[in-house]
Amino acid sequence: MAKLIINEKNKKGHINAEIYGHFSEHLGRCIYEGLYVGENSEIPNVNGMRKDVVDALKEMKIPVLRWPGGCFADEYHWKDGIGPKETRKKMINTHWGGVVEDNSFGTHEFFELCEQLGCKTYVNGNVGSGTVQEMSEWVEYITFEGVSPMADLRKENGHEKPWKIDYFGVGNENWGCGGNMTPEYYGNLYRRFQTYVRQYNKENKVQKICCGANVADYAWTEDVLKTCFAHPSNPASHGNMDGLSLHYYVHPGGWDKKGSATQFDTATWYKTLERADYMDELITRHGAIMDQYDPDKKIGMMVDEWGCWFDVEPGTNPGFLYQQNTMRDALVAGHTLNIFNRHCDRVKMACIAQMVNVLQSVILTEGPKMVLTPTYHVFHMYKNHQDAELLDSFIEGNGLVGEGECQVPHVSESVSVDAQGYVNVTLSNLSVSEDMPMEISFNELNPSSVEASILTGAMNAHNTFEDPECVKECQFIDFKAEDGKIVFTIPACSVISFRVK
C-alpha cells in the first residue's frame, strides 16, 4: 500500500488559477465552428458564440484564454478584424490549411467571448510581420478610455468603454514561425516592442509576456534574459517582463512519427507519459536559469502551449490538427497539471493547446453536436486547485511503472487547500494495468466530510458523437474515511479527485 502523507500546516505557494488556462487560435475549427458560429447560425448562440460550448467552459471554470495564435498571431493584422463584417479583409491562412480567413472573428468578438466565459484575456501581438506602431495601436484601441485616434475608432465601431487586457504576448515562437530570429535579435525587439505596450489604466496593468523557449532550448532562455536584463540606464527594469513563455508538446514517436490518437499499444502509452513527465525537468532547468536573473520569482513561467500532438484523424485536413482524445490524454493532463501545481512558485500560467477541435482539446464539435473529452473532465476535476494554496505532500511507497526505459511514477499527486478550507487532492494512476491500494493521512485534519470523483476507462477509451459519455467523471464512493485516514484503491488508468474537510 502507498501512503499519501499530507502536511496541511506547510503551505508551499499560491496556485495561480491561470495554470488552468486555454488557447484558441485561428486554426482549423477552433474559432470558426468550435466557438463562433455567427449570429445567424441555427446552432444556438449568443452574439455568435456557441451556447453549448460557452456553458461547458464556464462549468469547467476557464480562468484565461489566449488568442489569436500561435503562429497565426505573427501574421495577424488586427485592423483587418474590426468594423462591419462585410467589409473586413479576407486573407489566406497560410499556416493552417491555406483556407480563407474572413476575419469575422476579431477583437470585439474575442472580448465578447471572454466576457461570456467570465475569464481573463491574453492577447498575443505580432512581432514577426507586424510593426511597433501596429502593436501599440492595438493596445490603445483595446484599453484607452479617453480621446485618441484608436479609442475613437473603437467607439465608432460600437464599443464605448475600453476592455481589459490581462496578459499581452510580445510575439509567439519568434525562434520559429514568428520570424526565425536569434535570441539576441528577438531580445532586442522585445525591449523595443514592449516599450509601446502602454499602461493606459494604472489599476489594470497589462502583464507583458516575452517569447521563451521551445522545449529544451536553454540557450534561448539564457540569451533572451541576458539581452532583456541588460539595462545599464535602468537596472530596475527587471527585463520589462512579467512572464516568459515555454512551449512543449508531447509526441510519443517524435515530431515525424506522432502516431494515432486512438490506436496505440502499451509501450506507446508509457512513452507518451514519459514524455509528459519530462515537463518537470523542463520547468526545473529553465527555472534555474530564470532564478539567476530573477531570484525573487517575480517573472512567471508561462507554459502557454502544452499538450499531446498526435496524427490528425484519418480523412481530416492535415492543416487543421484535429485529433481524438482518450484516457491517455486524460492521464497526460492529470500528471502535467500536478507538475504545474508543484511548481507554482515559478509557473504562473499554462494554456493547453487548444481549447476546441485542435490538438488536445477539452471539447470537440461536429455541426450542432458537442462532446466533452476525457481531458475536459480532468480540468473539471482539478478546478478547485485554482487560486488555492499548495500543500506539502509526499507518496511513500510509490514505485515506478513502465516498459523498458520508459518508467514513470506509478501515481502522481498534488494537494491544495482552498479559500473555503477544503483540502483538494488529485491523483493520477499512470499504470495501464496495476491498481494501487492507497491511504491518505494528514498532519492534524480528521476528515468529517469527504467527497470524491473518478475518471477511468480503457487506455484508448474516448467519447464520440455517437457515444458521447463513454468516458465521464463519476462519483467515487469506494473509500473508507476513519481514524483520520482515507483508504481506497486507485484503479489503473484513472484520475481521482478528493475534496476533504
Which residue, 243 or 402, has its beta carbon nearer to ligand AHR? Answer: 243
C-alpha dist (Å) from residue 352 to 21, 25, 246, 416: 7, 12, 12, 21
311: contact with ligand AHR by CB under 6 A: no
CB of 399 to ligand AHR, least distance (A): 35
At position 485, the amino acid (one-letter code) is K
SS (H, E, C) 309-357: CCCCCCCCCHHHCCCCCEHHHHHHHHHHHHHHHHCCCCEEEEEEECCEC
Using CB under 6 A, which of the segments 54-62, 63-71, 378-386, 438-446 binds ligand AHR?
A: 63-71
Distance CA 188, CA 208 (A): 15
Query: One of 109, 173, 389, 473 is an active-site residue; which one?
Result: 173
Q: Which three cell numbers stand for residue 71?
A: 503562429
Torsion of CA 369, 375, 380, 381, to 10 degrees: 140
Distance CA 360, CA 322 (A): 9
CB of 219 to ligand AHR, least distance (A): 19
93: contact with ligand AHR by CB under 6 A: no
In 3D, which of 166, 238, 263 has the Cα closest to residue 208?
A: 166
**DSSP letters of 128-171?**
SS--HHHHHHHHHHHH--SS-HHHHHHHHTT--S----SEEEE-
Using CB under 6 A, which of the segments 65-73, 113-121, 264-272, 324-332 binds ligand AHR?
A: 65-73
Spacing of C-alpha 159 from chain mean position: 29
Which residue, 206 or 353, has its beta carbon nearer to ligand AHR? Answer: 353
Q: Residue 354: is the preceding peptide bond cis (ω within 30°)? A: yes
**313 noted as active-site residue:** no
Q: How many residues bind ligand AHR (CB under 6 A)?
A: 10
DSSP letter at 89 equals: P
389: contact with ligand AHR by CB under 6 A: no
Using CB under 6 A, which of the segments 69-77, 141-149, 228-236, 395-403 binds ligand AHR?
A: 69-77
Which residue, 70 or 183, has its beta carbon nearer to ligand AHR? Answer: 70
| Binding-residue pattern over the window 329 to 368 for ligand AHR, x denoting contact by CB under 6 A | ------------------------xx----x---------
Say if residues 217 and 175 touch (Cβ distance below 8 Å): yes
CB of 90 to ligand AHR, least distance (A): 21
**39 noted as active-site residue:** no
> Which of 34, 48, 68, 69 is close enough to bind ligand AHR by CB under 6 A?
69
Chain residue at closest Cβ approach to ligand AHR: 70
Residue 482 exposed, middle or buried by CB count within 10 Å (0-12, 13-18, 19+):
exposed
Cα-Cα-Cα-Cα dihedral sign, residues 322, 328, 330, 331: negative
Q: What share of the chain is helix, strand, coil (3-state, %, to 5)?
A: 30, 30, 40
124: contact with ligand AHR by CB under 6 A: no
24: contact with ligand AHR by CB under 6 A: no
170: contact with ligand AHR by CB under 6 A: no
305: contact with ligand AHR by CB under 6 A: yes
Residue 397 has a CB neighbour count (10 Å cut-off) of: 14
> Which of 71, 150, 411, 452 is close enough to bind ligand AHR by CB under 6 A?
71
34: contact with ligand AHR by CB under 6 A: no
Which residue, 351 or 471, has its beta carbon nearer to ligand AHR? Answer: 351
CB of 146 to ligand AHR, least distance (A): 35
Which residue, 289 or 359, has its beta carbon nearer to ligand AHR? Answer: 359
Query: One of 75, 101, 137, 305 is an active-site residue; which one?
Result: 305
123: contact with ligand AHR by CB under 6 A: no
101: contact with ligand AHR by CB under 6 A: no
Q: Which residues are catalytic?
A: 173, 305
Binding site for ligand AHR (CB under 6 A): 25, 69-71, 172-173, 305, 353-354, 359
